[in-house]
Amino acid sequence: MCRRSLSILLILLLPMIGIALVAGPAVAATPRSTQARAWERADANGDGVLTLEEVRRMPRLARHFDAIDSDRDGVITGGEVRAWRESQKLRRRTVPGRGVDEILRLADINGDGEITRAELAQGMPRFSARFDRIDNNGDGRLAKKELADWLAARRPMRPSQKTGN
């Protein structure tokens, strides 16, 4: 009786073992994320953390190194990067109008509260191609309201905003 039960158990398990053996290499061969590959390339000594020198290979992280290095030990870990990214997402969601202020801070070179085409090209070159779309009144200057309107049009409304809550 015991041998028969064991035989039945083996017959039932063999297909699952076969699937695991076939799927195992496929799962192991799945490509890693672009961020993980970039991290590995930047981590010159392979210690799993990035120094300021190593992070220079990742310009986005290099710009924010001090903010990411939460424990101020001179290296950033994957956990610190994830925590910083989450804090940035939360900050963008919870600070209304911050986008306009940030654009003005980066591009309003003369500090007059409006941005000219030349200022936008100098302060935020990637956005300069959008100048005409943002400049609703065609006066050649981007006022705070034009920037706010443009940002609002790009962001989908939350359900609470649609119902007026």
Which pLDDT score, from 0 to 100, does residue 30 have? Answer: 47
Distance CA 48, CA 40 (A): 8
Q: What residue spans define the domains of the chain?
A: 34-94, 98-156
Distance CA 19, CA 11 (A): 14
pLDDT digits (tens, 9 = 90+) for 92-103: 554 454 688 888
Distance CA 54, CA 39 (A): 9
pLDDT digits (tens, 9 = 90+) for 131-164: 999 999 999 999 999 988 888 887 665 555 455 4
Residues in contact with 146: Cβ distance below 8 Å, sequence separation at least 6, in sequence order = 134, 135, 136, 137
The DSSP call for residue 47 is S
- CA dihedral of 119, 107, 65, 78, whole degrees rounded to 10: -110
Could you tell me the fold of the domain covering 98-156? Recoverin; domain 1 (1.10.238)
Dump strand ranges (E) for the chain: 50-51, 75-76, 115-116, 141-142
For residue 122, the number of C-alpha atoms closer than 13 Å in the C-beta half-sphere is: 11
What percent of the chain has pLDDT above 90? Answer: 24
- CA dihedral of 158, 128, 117, 152, whole degrees rounded to 10: 0
Instruction: Give the confidence band of 76 by pLDDT, cuts at 50, 70, 90.
Output: very high
Instruction: Say yes or no: do domains 34-94 and 98-156 share a fold.
Output: yes
Q: Which residue has the higher pLDDT, 163 or 69?
A: 69
Could you tell me the fold of the domain covering 34-94? Recoverin; domain 1 (1.10.238)
Mean pLDDT to the nearest integer, 48-63:
88
Which pLDDT score, from 0 to 100, does residue 10 have? Answer: 58
Which pLDDT score, from 0 to 100, does residue 165 have? Answer: 47
